[in-house]
Amino acid sequence: MTAEDKRSISDFLDLAEDAVRLGYRTERRPRAFSDDAAPTRAGPRGDGAPRPAEAPRAGADDSLERIAAEVCACASCRLAQGRTRAVPGEGVERPSVLVVGEGPGADEDSSGRPFVGKAGQLLDKMLLSIGLSRETNCFIANVVKCRPPNNRDPEADEVGACAAFMDRQIALLSPRAILSVGRVPTQALLKTSEGIGRLRGRFVDYRGIPLLPTYHPSAILRDENLKRPAWEDLKLLRDLLSEPGRS
């Protein structure tokens, strides 16, 4: 792990601790971190652990590259007209965790990469705080792959037009767990109208895969009070992944 990664985790943990213990942010003396000798690298899980039994099966000739190419060529709904770049998703091929967000914002629309703006930077810190990252053991995608105008919520038909992409990604990735960030992706995946405040904090079964709803990092940036419950959710995910055969 790099010194920068360690600093990010430490910052997030400090934030979480302040939120839990004090309810406000304190100033802390900077700490020194150094790079580990050999940083861990991405790769197939290769741990021989069983896949979720009821997980959807990928078509034999399907691939993440093929899905990405189809996403980039897709014109199935009105969102395609306003996009600069489609955002298929990114991460490792056999992830421990699939993170599912709502849809690209301005930074994602211009870069073609998911969660690269302010919310994405917080998401990366949240993941790192429990040993996860898009470089090593996560895949990050959104329920809609093109930016909704002015960052409005995607409409049901737009989510529907993208649903097959998400289904195929889940089938191929076969993650150990899904972290669904925010109301929109959680309601879309679970086909519910329940609010995120009621849905978060416990795993639900999604086609044989444990799915944990939590708050969207943008919401956490807007409301400090959501840091504590989000941290509690991350700990649940960390505990699940630390069960034998799950990491």
CB-based closest residue to ligand URA: 101
Residue 124 found at the interface with ligand URA (CB under 6 A): no
List the strands of the sheet with 138-142, edge to edge.
90-91, 138-142, 97-101, 177-181, 209-214, 204-206
Tell me which stretch binds ligand URA (CB under 6 A): 30-38, 69-77, 107-115, 156-164: 107-115
Residue from 115, 139, 206, 231 in contact with ligand URA (CB under 6 A): 115
Q: Taking the complex as a whole, how short is the minimal distance between the CB of residue 140 and ligand URA, in angstroms? A: 7
- The site that binds ligand URA (CB under 6 A) totals a number of residues, namely 11
Give the single-character DSSP code of 238.
H
Residue from 129, 133, 142, 214 in contact with ligand URA (CB under 6 A): 142
Tally Cβ neighbours within 10 Å of residue 25. 12
Residue from 88, 95, 112, 120 in contact with ligand URA (CB under 6 A): 120
Of 179, 172, 177, nearest to 243 by C-alpha is: 177
Residue 158 found at the interface with ligand URA (CB under 6 A): no
Local structure of 180: helix, strand or coil:
strand
**Nearer to ligand URA among residue 18 and residue 153 (C-beta):** 153
- What are the DSSP calls for 99-164, one per residue? EEES---HHHHHHS-SS-SHHHHHHHHHHHTTT--TTTTEEEEESSSSPPGGGPPPPHHHHHHHHH
Residue 90 found at the interface with ligand URA (CB under 6 A): no
Which residues here bind ligand URA, judged by CB under 6 A? 101-105, 108, 114-115, 119-120, 142
